[in-house]
Amino acid sequence: MSATNAVSSGGGATAEQIEQARTDPKLANVLYHDWEAGTYDDKWSISYDQRCIDYARDRFVRISGDDNWPYDRALELGCGTGFFLLNLRQAGVLDEGHVTDISPGMVAVAKRNAEGLGFSVEGRVADAESIPYDDNEFDLVVGHAVLHHIPDVELAIREVLRVLKPGGRFVFCGEPTQRGDIVARRLSQLTWFTASRVTQWPVLRNRWGRPPTELAESSREAALESLVDLHTFDPDRLAALCMRAGAIDVRTQTEELTASWFGWPVRTVEAAVRPGSLGWNWAMFAYRGWQRLSWLDENVMERFVPDEFFYNVGVTGVKSEAT
Ligand SMILES: C[S@@+](CC[C@H](N)C(=O)[O-])C[C@H]1O[C@@H](n2cnc3c(N)ncnc32)[C@H](O)[C@@H]1O
C-alpha cells in the first residue's frame, strides 16, 4: 500500500498499518495526521481570528521580507487544518488558495475550516515530492512546519519550483533547527516529567489531573509520533539545498530563542493537565509571555546569538524568470 492510498477508515489505523509505518515515514505521516486532524486545532491553539491572522502574516513578512501582495494564485503544501494559508488569505496576502496535504483527514478539515470562514479553497491529497499540478501554475507556494516531515526535501523544492510561475516565490516557515530542537525537546521532557506527576498529587488531582490512562497515551497511533519528524535543519545547509534545487534569491531567517524556551514548556503543561482546566488567564499569560520574549529575541538576542541556536528557521526563494 502506498502512503497516499492509505486513507484511514475513521476507526483508526490497524495494527498491520502501524507495523508497516515503522519503515515507511510517509505512511506514518498519513496515519498519524489523519488521527490528529479532528483535534489538531485545539491541541495547538490554532484559531482563525486576529491573533493567528497576525501571527501568520508576521511570519510570512519576516521570512520573505515581502509586503508587496496580494499574490494571485497560491498553493500550500502540508496544509494540516489550513492554519497558514487560510490565515494568510484573511490577512490579504493571497487571493485564490489551494491546499494540499498527504493526510486526507487534514485536507477535509482544511476545506471545512475555509467554508466556516465564508470562502472556499481547492483541496487535494498530495505528497509534496510529486505535486499534482501542472508546471507554472502558482504565484506563491507556502508551507508551515512541513519540510521536516518530507523524506526528500530537495525533491520537494524542485517540485515547488516546477509548479511556480517564473518569478514566483516560495515561503516555508516554522521548521526546527538542529540545536534549537535539542533544547526544546529536553525542556519539554523535563516539564512533562514534572507536570504529569505534580498534577496527580491528591490536592491538585481533581482540578488539574488527567486520568492516568490518558497520560499513558494508550492509543496505538501515539506510537507513530516518534516516526513522523524526519529532519532538523542547519540554516546554511537549508539555503544551499534550495539553491541546488534551482531557486534564486534564497534567504533563511531564524526565530524564537527565549520564546521557545518559554513556549515549549507552556505547551507541554497544557498537554499534561486536564483539558480546559487552565482557563483564560493562563491563555493570556502564555500568549503575552511568548509575544514579549519574541520581541526580546528579535530586537536583542539576534544581535548576539548565532542563528543556529534559535528554534525555528524559515526559508524563502524565487523561481528564475529565465526558466
Ligand atoms: C506539523 S503538521 C503542520 C500542519 C500545518 N501546516 C500547520 O502549521 O498547522 C505537518 C503536516 O504535513 C503533512 N505532511 C507530512 N508529510 C508530507 C508529505 N510528504 N507531503 C505533503 N504533506 C505532508 C502532514 O500530514 C501534516 O498535516
Number of folded domains that form the chain: 1
Please compute the mean of the pLDDT values over residues 212-224 and round it to a whole number: 64
Q: Outline where the chain has alpha helix (H).
A: 15-21, 25-36, 40-43, 50-64, 83-91, 104-117, 153-163, 178-198, 202-208, 212-215, 225-228, 235-245, 258-272, 279-296, 302-304
Query: Is residue 71 in some structural domain?
Result: yes
**Which atom of ligand 1 lies closest to the CA of 103?**
25
Asked if residue 282 is part of any domain, the answer here is no
pLDDT of residue 132: 98
d(C-alpha 6, C-alpha 277), whole Å: 36
Residue 56 lies in a domain: yes
Q: Residue 66 pLDDT more than 80?
A: yes
Question: Cα torsion for 90, 91, 96, 101, to the nearest 10°?
Answer: -80
pLDDT reported for residue 17: 85
Check residue 222 and give its pLDDT: 67
What domain range includes position 11? Answer: 3-177+230-255+310-318
Provide the CATH number for the domain around residue 125.
Answer: 3.40.50.150
Backbone angle region of 65, left / alpha / beta, with phi > 0 → left and psi within -120 to 50 → alpha = left
Task: Report the pLDDT value the prediction gives residue 6, as an integer from 0 to 100.
Answer: 44
- Tell me how far apart the alpha carbons of residues 295 and 293 are, in angstroms, rounded to a whole number: 5
Amino acid present at 205: R
Nearest partner of 128 among 1, 221, 33, 235, judged by Cα? 33
- Cα of 78 vs centre of ligand 1, distance in Å, is 3
27, 30, 60, 101, best to mutate for ligand 1 pocket (most atoms within 8 Å of CB): 101
Kindly state the average pLDDT of the residues 162-180. Answer: 96
Please indicate, yes or no, if residue 62 is contained in any of the structural domains: yes
202 Cα to the center of ligand 1, angstroms: 39
Omega within 30 of 0 (cis) for the link into 70: yes
Buried b (16+ CB within 10 A) or exposed e, 180-193: bbebbeebbeebbe
Percentage of the chain lying above the pLDDT 70 cut: 93
Residue 310 is predicted with a pLDDT of: 95
State the closest ligand 1 atom to the C-alpha of 36, by its place in the atom list counted from 1: 27
Confidence of residue 19 (pLDDT cuts 50, 70, 90): confident
Query: Given ligand 1 and candidates 100, 149, 159, 173, which is best to mutate, with the most ligand atoms within 8 Å of its CB?
Result: 149
pLDDT in tens, 249-298: 999 999 999 999 999 999 888 888 887 788 889 888 998 999 999 999 99
Residues with CB under 6 A from ligand 1: 26, 29, 33, 77-80, 83-84, 101-103, 106, 127-129, 144-146, 149-150
Three-state DSSP at 225 gives helix
What are the grid coordinates assigned to 143, written together? 508551507
Whole-angstrom distance, CA of residue 266 vs CA of residue 202? 23
What is the atom index within ligand 1 of the atom nearest the CA of 150? 19
Beta strand 248-255 pairing with 138-144: unpaired
What mean pLDDT value characterizes the chain? Answer: 90
In degrees, rounded to 5, the angle at the alpha carbon of residue 258 between the alpha carbons of residues 252 and 262 is: 120
Q: Is the dihedral of CA 189, 195, 201, 206 positive or negative?
A: negative
Look at residue 125 and tell me if it is in a domain: yes
Using DSSP, state whether 199 is helix, strand or coil: coil
Calculate how far, in angstroms, residue 200's C-alpha sits from the geometric centre of ligand 1: 34
Q: What is the pLDDT of residues 82-126, one digit of tens each?
A: 999 999 999 999 999 999 999 999 999 999 999 999 999 999 999
Q: Per the confidence metrics, is the pTM higher than 0.85?
A: yes
290 in a domain, yes or no? no
Whole-angstrom Cα distance, residue 152 to residue 260? 27
How does residue 216 score in pLDDT terms, banded at 50, 70 and 90? Answer: low
In a domain, 273, yes or no: no
The answer to the question of residue 298 being in a domain is no
Closest residue by Cα to atom 11, ligand 1, is 78
Atom of ligand 1 nearest to the CA of 30: 25
Which are the contacts of 220, defined by CB distance < 8 A and separation ≥ 6? Answer: 12, 13, 15, 18
Interval between CA 150 and ligand 1 midpoint (Å): 8
DSSP 209: P
70-84 mean pLDDT: 98
Q: How far is the CA of 66 from the centre of ligand 1 (A)?
A: 24
Average pLDDT of the segment spanning 49-70: 94
